[in-house]
Each structure stands twice: as C-alpha cells, then as structure tokens.
C-alpha cells in the first residue's frame, strides 16, 4: 500500500495508523472500508478520550459539587465550545447536544412545528434523507401544513432555477441537505438559505455528510439551524448537535421535559431554562460529547486542504475506473461532489453483488440509503455506494474495481 498520496505528500500510512479498526482482515482479506457515509472509523485519540472519561471522571454534569462532577462538567462544556468554533457559531449556547442528526432534525421540526398552521408550506429538497422528511411530515400532518419537494435534476443537482415554483409566501421552513448521502452532491446551501430568508422562511441545514469533508461556517452559510452528527466526522456514535440562532432558540418551546431543562418547577406550573439547557433534558451523552470534542481537535490538527485534494483524487480515480466496468452506470454527475460514488449494474442487483465484495474484504453500502424519494425521482430501487474518507487509498479503490470485475464474471453468465 502506498504511503504517500499525490495530494501534497499526504502521509496515508501515518494517517491510517491512528485508526485501529482499519488494521484488520475480513474473510482473510485486508479490510477495504468504503462505507464512510454510513459511519467513519475513530482515531485512537477519540477512543482514548471516551475510555478516560469512564475510567477517571465518570459523573453527571451540572449537578454535583464534588470533583468528578466538576471535571465532567468542564469537559462537557469545553466540547460545546469546540463545536462553536468548528462551525463558527456566535456563542456556545447556540449549540445543543443531541443524539445525532436524526434527533437534531426532530428537535427542529417539533419546536418549529409548534408555530405552524394549516396551509403553511415546508419545502425540502428531493434528495433528503428520511430523517429530514419524516419529522416534517409528522408535524405537517398534525397542523395541516404541506411538505413539498425542491426539484432535483437528472444530474443529481438541486434545480434552484425552479425554486420559485415551491418557495413562496406560504413557505415557513426550508430544510436542505448540505451534501447528499446517496450521490455525494454538494449543494449551494448559502443560496438555499438566501431564498428561504427572502421568503420569510426559517432555514434548516442537514450537515451530516459535510462535516468530515468541508469547512462549515454557519454565519457565512446564513442558516438559522444546522444539524451535525459525531459518528460521520470521526467521533462517537450517539452524539450530535443542533445549531440554532440564539434569537430563534429563545422563542422556541422545549422538545422534551425532565431534569436540567427547567428554571422553576411546581405543581402550579413550570418555567424553562434558557438555551441550550432548555433542549437538553435528562442526563446527556457526556462521554460522546467529550469524544466529539476530541474528534474536532483531531480534524483541526490535520491539513484539511490536503485531505480535500486527496479525496478528490480518489473520487476521480473511482469514477473513471468504475465507468470502465462493463454494464455499470454511475448515478449522480454533479459538478461539485465529495468522494462518494453510487452506481447500478445491468447484470445484477446490488444485493447480489455486495456479498461478493464483502468476501473480497470490501465494505460498501447497498440499498436506497434512506432516500427513497430520490430513488423514485431517478427511477431506481437501489444502488451500490462507495464512500471514501481521507484515510482511504488509491489501491483500495482498485481493489473495489477488481472485485466488481470478478462479480461480473460470476453473475453475468
């Protein structure tokens, strides 16, 4: 395996050495992990930080006057401030810890939905993950609002030239994915937020797939809300963030009730704490938040520009090599993409090919990727998705392609 990338001398071997899970065999073959859009692996620093919390600082936050609780609280709130810096929020109080992007989007939908009424419109892109469709549908069903899609072109890009057809004076929320988990398309979320603001609507951005690959600046994007998840950006599972502009958060009702989120509680009634506590009822995922903070430290210690160049090299190599496989069609030809490639095969169903790739040590994702409306728009039932991260190599791309050639020989007859 090459130890250097053409991308400015990125030392792949050194980078990979920080990820213990990459150094294993599957079915007797070296693991080729190309399912990073589902979850990334974790560097040793993140793993060690979560273990250290449980070994040394395990205590609840904000509630104890003893040393362990003080240390846990300090680490937890330091992690929140790291998130603030990572997305360039104005204040750490704008960063609410959740269990992940799904939880973040449910929080946004539930609280914003409290202000919706019959006839209001919620606009979503046609390439949304189910987690950014279903919560809005539930809210719309309760109040009589409607959910309408922002169109997607045959190339797998948002058709923003037609945005005026759906974003109108009835629109109260516009929610859009930053990067498509299925196609890798990078959307112009700044323009989406500008269109939402011009219509007097609130903007919500799903940045689950963006955080590991792109710089995120909520003030430059101009969004009102933005959702992140730790496990897709080299952090732990079960931890995420909802960013919200403080002026909006102050006006929103709680999402859940319980401990820590109250100001005063009596049987006559309850008043609620200011954000972020208002939206963090109960004991949080303290170790997860600390691990997320360390993942942000890890990302900050890297040359992200070199990473991006390397990932683009992988995308170009993978796309070109896959197109030379007989009977294979790449799905999604957006001009701006992260290193994610979806494809279909005329000679086999994706579910028949995935086990062959697995036996070659290659981990990919098959199915509709929780984007059934997008699949319907493209006339597909399922694709195979290879999603790459900075720790992947050109040789791993070649292993995927070789395994596909083998699968074709086995299945095409």
**β-bridge mates for residue 271, sequence order:** 264
> DSSP states of 396-412 as a string?
HHHHHHHHHHHHHHHH-
Backbone dihedral region for residue 146 (phi beyond 0: left; psi -120 to 50: alpha; all else: beta): beta
Between CA 62 and CA 73 the distance in angstroms is 6
| Cα 327 to Cα 114: distance, rounded to the nearest angstrom | 50
Task: State the CATH architecture for 12-38+303-411.
Answer: Alpha-Beta Complex (3.90)
Residues in the chain: 413
pLDDT of residue 3: 47
The reply to whether 12-38+303-411 and 47-300 are identical in fold is no
- Between CA 98 and CA 115 the distance in angstroms is 22
Rounded (10°) angle between helices 286-300 and 67-87 = 40
Catalytic position from the list 176, 223, 265, 370: 370
CA distance 405 to 24: 24
Separation between Cα atoms, residue 389 and residue 405, nearest integer Å: 23
In sequence order, what are the beta bridge partners of 328?
Answer: 345
> Quick check: is 95 catalytic?
no
pTM value is 0.96
Q: Is 209 exposed, middle or buried (0-12, 13-18, 19+ CB in 10 A)?
A: buried
CA distance 412 to 354: 15
Q: What is the pLDDT of residue 5?
A: 54
In this structure, what token pair is assigned to residue 246?
């403080």
Question: What is the rounded CA–CA span in Å between residue 22 and residue 33?
Answer: 7
d(CA 392, CA 293): 23
Helix (H) / strand (E) element for 337: namely none
Any idea where the domains of the chain sit in the sequence? 12-38+303-411, 47-300
Pick the CATH number of 47-300 from 3.40.50.12780, 3.30.70.1450, 3.40.640.10, 3.90.1300.10: 3.40.640.10
Determine contact, residues 117/144, Cβ cutoff 8 Å. yes
pLDDT at 63: 83
Determine the Cα–Cα distance for residues 141 and 72; give it in Å rounded to an integer: 41
Per-10-residue mean pLDDT for the chain, 413 residues long? 58 97 97 98 98 97 92 98 98 98 98 97 98 98 97 96 95 98 98 98 98 98 98 98 98 94 94 96 97 98 97 98 97 97 96 96 97 97 97 98 96 81
Tell me what pLDDT residue 226 has. Answer: 98
């Amino acid at each position: 395996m090459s130890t250097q990338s053409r991308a400015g001398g990125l030392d792949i071997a050194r980078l990979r050495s920080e990820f213990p899970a990459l150094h294993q065999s599957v079915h007797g073959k070296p693991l080729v992990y190309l399912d990073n859009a589902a979850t990334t692996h974790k560097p040793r620093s993140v793993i060690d930080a979560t273990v250290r919390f449980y070994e040394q600082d395990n205590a609840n936050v904000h509630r104890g006057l003893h040393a362990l609780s003080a240390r846990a609280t300090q680490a937890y709130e330091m992690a929140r401030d790291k998130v603030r810096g990572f997305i360039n929020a104005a204040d750490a109080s704008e960063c609410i810890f959740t269990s992940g992007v799904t939880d973040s989007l449910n929080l946004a939908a539930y609280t914003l939905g409290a202000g919706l009424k019959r006839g209001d419109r919620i606009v979503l892109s046609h390439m949304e993950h189910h987690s950014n469709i279903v919560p809005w549908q539930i809210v719309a069903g309760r109040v009589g609002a409607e959910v309408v899609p922002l169109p997607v072109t045959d190339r797998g890009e948002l058709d923003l030239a037609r945005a005026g057809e759906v974003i109108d004076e009835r629109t109260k929320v516009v929610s859009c994915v930053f990067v498509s988990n299925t196609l890798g398309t990078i959307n112009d979320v700044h323009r989406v937020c500008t269109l939402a603001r011009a219509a007097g609507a609130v903007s919500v951005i799903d940045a689950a797939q963006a955080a590991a690959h792109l710089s995120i600046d909520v003030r430059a994007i101009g969004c009102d809300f933005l959702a992140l998840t730790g496990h897709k950006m080299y952090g732990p599972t079960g931890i995420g963030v909802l960013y919200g502009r403080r002026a909006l958060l102050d006006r929103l009702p709680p999402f859940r009730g319980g401990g820590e989120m109250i100001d005063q509680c009596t049987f006559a009634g309850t008043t609620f704490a200011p954000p972020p506590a208002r939206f963090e009822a109960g004991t949080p995922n303290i170790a997860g938040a600390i691990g997320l903070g360390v993942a942000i430290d890890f990302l900050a210690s890297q040359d992200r520009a070199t990473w991006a160049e390397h990932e683009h090299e992988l995308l170009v190599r993978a796309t070109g090599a896959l197109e030379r496989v007989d009977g294979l069609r790449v799905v999604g030809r957006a001009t701006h993409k992260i290193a994610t490639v979806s494809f279909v095969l005329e000679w086999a169903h994706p579910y028949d090919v995935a086990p062959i790739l697995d036996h070659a040590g290659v981990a990919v994702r098959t199915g509709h990727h929780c984007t059934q409306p997008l699949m319907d728009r493209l006339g597909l039932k399922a694709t195979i998705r290879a999603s790459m991260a900075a720790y992947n190599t050109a040789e791993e791309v070649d292993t995927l392609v070789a395994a596909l050639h083998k699968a074709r020989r086995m299945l095409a007859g």
